Amino acid sequence: MSVLSGKKVLLAISAGIAAYKTANLVRLFIKLDAEVQVIMTPASKDFITPLTLSSLSKNPVHSNFYSKEDENELWNNHVELGLWADFMLIAPATANTLSKMANGTCNNLLLATYLSAKCPVYFAPAMDLDMYKHPSTKQSLQKLQDFGNIIIPATSGELASGLVGEGRMAEPEDIVTFIENDMVSKLPLKGKKVLITAGPTYEAIDPVRFIGNHSSGKMGFALAREAANLGAKVTLISGPTNQQLKHSFVNRIDVVSAQEMYTAAHTYFKEVHIAILSAAVADYKPKNVASQKIKKASNTLHIELTPTKDILASLGAIKKNQFLVGFALETNNELEHAKEKLQRKNLDAIVLNSLQDKGAGFATDTNKVTIIDKYLKEQSFQLKSKTEVAKDILEVIISKLEQ
């Protein structure tokens, strides 16, 4: 998964020969699971057709404020387009469009949307060598950057005129990589390493039976996805679960038993900045595991259990600068038990959820949590999707790291 996954991209195309590259640009954004809407200046249609771009983006292409053929058609609202986007990309950005942007000229839908946009704006200049070097163009480029817009520098190469030099629009793959890297560099967990445990553990009774619990791993996977989306390099240690997560920032380690999770957690803990242990680890395991399937020989079966290693407490005992977060799933005296666990295991925060709350706990898509920090300060949240809960938890952690 790319940092562009789920992002709303507003691609604005002005009238340069490099407009032909925008078909591939749209395709790359769609391939990374972004949503794309396209604005074209009327003259840019001479270089690439709206039909091509609408087919690739699966959205209508916007060019004029309204349709001259249909006087009853609703106008294209430039304000709404600007508010819709997570970022706007103007590519190619010709000398003409750059000058108008820099000076506030507003004579087409692209420029009106640019002036209304509240999101980050990237622009990829494209023009001939002498135009690119002209003082007025240099002035436009500088003014736009002073306004807070982000330039994707032109490259050197063969130009439409046949000259060779600077002014060639960056290639679509390089534009996408530039935006990804820029977005990642501004994320709050950029440069942080995060360890997350998720799911249940299975403790073998014999080769076919085990002791387990109802944990689905949904909360831990939501935390891993959100931490990665915030720029962190995530090590996700997961017990047996059907959950899937594909993200370039997530390294998944699959384990089965509490002992395997203990070993994996200790292997990676020393190199992380944040550890969030959301897995539902078995507290006990069979003392003796049968090497063959146990046959049903009587009406009762006695299995002697022995405690598993306490992963959370063991990490709390050795932590140095790591921010360590545990989970407490309680059924009674919830706050009292969670605070006791927080202090006994030397945690920086604990996430409490109660099986008494409808919609919280195992195997649901929602959760309702209270986050308690090491100073026993409580923050309670309403019932939300586990994705939203993950955002709340990480927002709290980030705020604590900044204190």
CA distance 108 to 87: 19
Residues near 231 by Cβ (< 8 Å), separated by ≥ 6? 3, 184, 187, 188, 189, 190, 191, 192, 249
- What pLDDT is stored for residue 333 in this prediction? 85
Residue with tokens 């959370």: 312
Percent of the chain residues topping a pLDDT of 90: 79
Percent of the chain residues topping a pLDDT of 70: 96
Mean pLDDT of the chain: 92
Domains in the chain: ranges and CATH = 8-185 (3.40.50.1950), 193-401 (3.40.50.10300)
Cα angle at 29 between 23 and 32, to 5 degrees?
A: 140
Q: Are 81 and 39 in contact (CB under 8 A)?
A: yes
Q: Is the pLDDT of residue 248 over 90?
A: no
Look at residues 33, 87, 85, 27 and name the one whose alpha carbon lies nearest to residue 57: 27
> What single-letter DSSP state applies at residue 74?
P
Look at residues 361, 374, 381 and name the one whose alpha carbon lies nearest to residue 400: 374
Confidence of residue 39 (pLDDT cuts 50, 70, 90): very high
Any catalytic annotation for residue 242? no
- What pLDDT is stored for residue 136 in this prediction? 96
Q: In this predicted model, which residue has the larger pLDDT, 299 or 96?
A: 96
Parallel, antiparallel or unpaired: strands 323-330 and 274-277: parallel
- Long-range interactions of 62-68: CB distance < 8 A, separation 24+: 62/37, 62/38, 62/109, 63/39, 63/109, 64/109, 65/109, 65/112
Between the alpha carbon of residue 359 and those of residues 216, 220, 354, 382, the distances in Å are: 14, 17, 10, 11
- What pLDDT is stored for residue 257 in this prediction? 97
Q: Are 315 and 277 in contact (CB under 8 A)?
A: yes
Catalytic one among 59, 77, 96, 213? 213
- Long-range interactions of 138-141: CB distance < 8 A, separation 24+: 139/102, 140/95, 140/98, 140/99, 140/101, 140/102, 140/103, 141/98
Average pLDDT over residues 301-323: 95
E runs forming strands in 14-112:
35-40, 61-62, 87-93
Residue 42's identity, in one-letter code, is P
Peptide bond before residue 125 is cis, with ω within 30 degrees of 0: no
CA distance 51 to 396: 46
Residue with tokens 């053929």: 69
Q: Is the pLDDT of residue 77 over 80?
A: no
CA distance 360 to 351: 12
Length of the chain: 403
Confidence of residue 79 (pLDDT cuts 50, 70, 90): confident
The model's pLDDT over 181-221, given as tens digits with 9 standing for 90+, comes to 999 899 999 999 999 999 999 999 999 999 999 899 999 99
- What pLDDT is stored for residue 363 in this prediction? 66
Q: Is the pLDDT of residue 65 over 50?
A: yes
CA distance 26 to 9: 9
The model's pLDDT over 338-375, given as tens digits with 9 standing for 90+, comes to 999 999 999 999 999 877 777 666 768 899 999 999 99
Parallel, antiparallel or unpaired: strands 233-238 and 210-211: unpaired
Q: Which tokens is 256 given?
A: 């089965």
- What pLDDT is stored for residue 266 in this prediction? 98
- What pLDDT is stored for residue 158 in this prediction? 79
- What pLDDT is stored for residue 129 in this prediction? 87
Q: Is the pLDDT of residue 72 over 50?
A: no
- pTM of the predicted model as reported, rounded to 2 decimal places: 0.80
Average pLDDT over residues 2-17: 92
The model's pLDDT over 143-173, given as tens digits with 9 standing for 90+, comes to 999 999 999 999 988 777 777 778 899 999 9
Residue 258's identity, in one-letter code, is A
Residues near 119 by Cβ (< 8 Å), separated by ≥ 6? 10, 82, 85, 86, 87, 88
Q: Are 331 and 355 in contact (CB under 8 A)?
A: yes
Confidence of residue 66 (pLDDT cuts 50, 70, 90): low
- What pLDDT is stored for residue 301 in this prediction? 87
Look at residues 208, 13, 220 and name the one whose alpha carbon lies nearest to residue 110: 13
Q: Are 314 and 346 in contact (CB under 8 A)?
A: no
- What pLDDT is stored for residue 44 in this prediction? 96
- What pLDDT is stored for residue 68 in this prediction? 58
